[in-house]
Amino acid sequence: MLDRSSDNAATPSPAPAPADVVSELLVGMRLVGLNYRRIQISPPFGLGFGRAEERAQFHFVAQGTVYLRRPGEPDLKLEAGSAVLLPHGGAHDLVSEPDVPSREIAAFCAAPLCRTVGDIRECADGVCRSKDVVMFSGCMGFELGSLTPLVAVMPPVMSVATLLCRYPEMLPMLEAMEREARGERAGFAGILARLAEVVSAFIVRAWVESGCGTATGWPAALRDPRLGRVIAAVHRDPGRDWTVADLAAEMGSSRSVFAERFLAVTGMTPLRYLTELRMRLAAQWITRDRVPIEDAAHRLGYGSQAAFSRAFKRVIGHAPGAMRASTPATARAAE
């Protein structure tokens, strides 16, 4: 979890990532809500999420108390105003009490409120009351662009509760979510969806700015001021004909020292990192932005589409044309 208690002085915090690097890498970040539910339910209840869902899950409690239950982990108590992001999804429950059995969320009837938001009401005797629990939950798609490696090293649960002291600007958004979820004014469903996306983005940014916890590899390179400059330069201009000498110059060291340091921290060579970055960006451009394959190849510095396609297949696992052919339904689902 995102647990950065300010009073735990005995445990040193990781060095935060350099602000300029973070700013550059977060420019393209988008978290898009794909399927939300406003839930009003009377205790006792148990809602099951993520049995076969690997997308990120977001939950906000607008009224009442809920327990987040995950296999093999301590329960997390969520009071009104609490928000959590589970970046990897996975099996979990939202329950009124720790020992209450759960029922899959898909088994509940949801009336459509708007294109991406449904409404679930399971109130005692069919009458909704002030003692009911009110939540806003849903799955989200990450569009992090060049930040994609961060998703794999994110903690399983990221809570807004531990961030408010450092990021008080989040409080008005949480309060607005409470009002919209409970008040159900005109247009509230769409407003809640947008607020959920913004709050989730805040959570991710706060984690990055705090140094990515104890994550190693790519985040460790981001925390290193000299390597951070190199990463920022590569992400800023991925299509440049970079050489190890060019990258070493960005770091201000010899080629051998740079290559050894980069490999030790990230676990890959600089040129492999560059190739993987290019292919991740290409996959995003081709699928989300519908960029022609030849244009993606040119923007990323490849002299021929054939050379680009070989690199793409080596990194992604299949040819870019196959990805283009499979995108229409995915693109519609994410809109």
Is residue 148 one of the residues assigned to a domain?
A: yes
**Which burial class, exposed, middle or buried, applies to 295 when counting CB atoms under 10 A from its CB (0-12, 13-18, 19+)?**
middle
The encoded tokens of residue 271 equal: 């040129």
Q: Are residues 184 and 55 in the same domain?
A: yes
Q: Which H or E run includes 32?
A: strand 30-41
| 178 lies in the same domain as 230 | no
Does the residue 269 lie in any domain? yes
Per residue in 318-335, pLDDT (tens digit) is 898 887 665 544 333 433
32 Cβ contact partners less than 8 Å away, ≥ 6 residues apart: 140, 141, 143, 197, 334
Q: Let me know whether 253 and 180 are in one domain.
A: no
What's the rounded Cα separation, in Å, for the pair 72 and 84?
18
The pTM (predicted TM-score) of the whole model is 0.73
Query: Is 252 found in the same domain as 199?
Result: no
Return d(Cα 21, Cα 246) in angstroms, integer: 18
Q: Do 181 and 92 sit in the same domain of this protein?
A: yes
Residues 6+ apart with CB under 8 A from 60: 82, 83, 135, 136, 137, 174, 177, 181, 196, 199
pLDDT of residue 232 exceeding 90, the answer is no
- Count CA within 13 A, CB hemisphere, residue 27: 8
Does residue 125 register a pLDDT over 90? Answer: no
Residue 219 lies inside a defined structural domain of this protein: no
Cα separation values, 147 from 105, 108, 120, 125, 153, Å: 31, 35, 34, 48, 11
Q: State which of 153, 185, 209 marks the end of a domain.
A: 209
pLDDT of 264 over the 50 cut: yes
Q: Is residue 327 part of a domain?
A: yes
CATH label of the domain that carries residue 150: 2.60.120.10
Tally of CB atoms within 10 A around 119:
17
**What pLDDT digit, counting tens, does each position of 182-204 carry?**
988 888 999 999 999 999 988 88
In degrees, to the nearest 5, what angle opens at C-alpha 168 toward C-alphas 166 and 172?
155
Question: Which of 85, 102, 84 is closest to 93 using CA atoms?
Answer: 102
DSSP 3-state assignment of 138?
Answer: strand
For residue 85, tell me if it sits in a domain: yes
Confidence of residue 224 (pLDDT cuts 50, 70, 90): confident
Whether the CB-CB separation of 121 and 4 falls below 8 Å is answered with: no
Residues paired with residue 305 on neighbouring β-strands, in sequence order? none
Dump pLDDT digits (tens) for 234-261: 888 999 999 999 999 999 999 999 999 9
CATH number of the CATH domain containing 319 = 1.10.10.60
pLDDT score, position 55: 84
Whether residues 233 and 196 fall in one domain: no
Query: What's the token pair of residue 18?
Result: 């350099």
Q: Are 280 and 296 in contact (CB under 8 A)?
A: no
Rounded-to-10 torsion of CA 226, 229, 234, 237: -160
Question: Has residue 215 been placed in a domain?
Answer: no
Which of 153, 177, 209 is the C-terminal boundary of a domain? 209
How buried is residue 53: exposed, middle or buried, by Cβ count under 10 Å (0-12/13-18/19+)? Answer: middle
Q: Are residues 136 and 236 in the same domain?
A: no
Domain boundary among 184, 209, 234: 209
Q: Are residues 295 and 318 in the same domain?
A: yes
> Is 1 inside any structural domain?
no
Q: Is residue 12 part of a domain?
A: no
Nearest to residue 58, comparing CAs of 156, 149, 139, 143? 139
Distances in Å between the Cα of 26 and the Cα atoms of 21, 70, 142, 150 are 9, 30, 12, 11
What is residue 161's predicted lDDT score, i.e. its pLDDT?
87
Q: Alpha-carbon distance 222 to 207, whole Å?
A: 13
Same domain assignment for residues 177 and 322? no
Per-residue burial over 240-270, b if 16 or more Cβ lie within 10 Å, else e, is: eebebeebbebbebebeebbebbeebbeeeb
pLDDT per residue as tens digits for the range 1-49: 333 333 333 434 444 545 556 666 666 677 777 889 999 999 999 999 9
Q: What is the DSSP letter of 9?
A: T
Residues 37 and 179 in one domain: yes
Q: Are residues 94 and 57 in the same domain?
A: yes
Provide the token pair at 208: 């990055």
CA distance 263 to 270: 7
User: Are residues 123 and 167 both part of a single domain?
Assistant: yes
Residue percentage of the chain with pLDDT more than 70: 83
Q: Which domain holds residue 187?
A: 19-209
- Res. 206 pLDDT band, cuts 50 70 90: confident
Number of independent structural domains in the chain: 2
pLDDT, position 225:
80
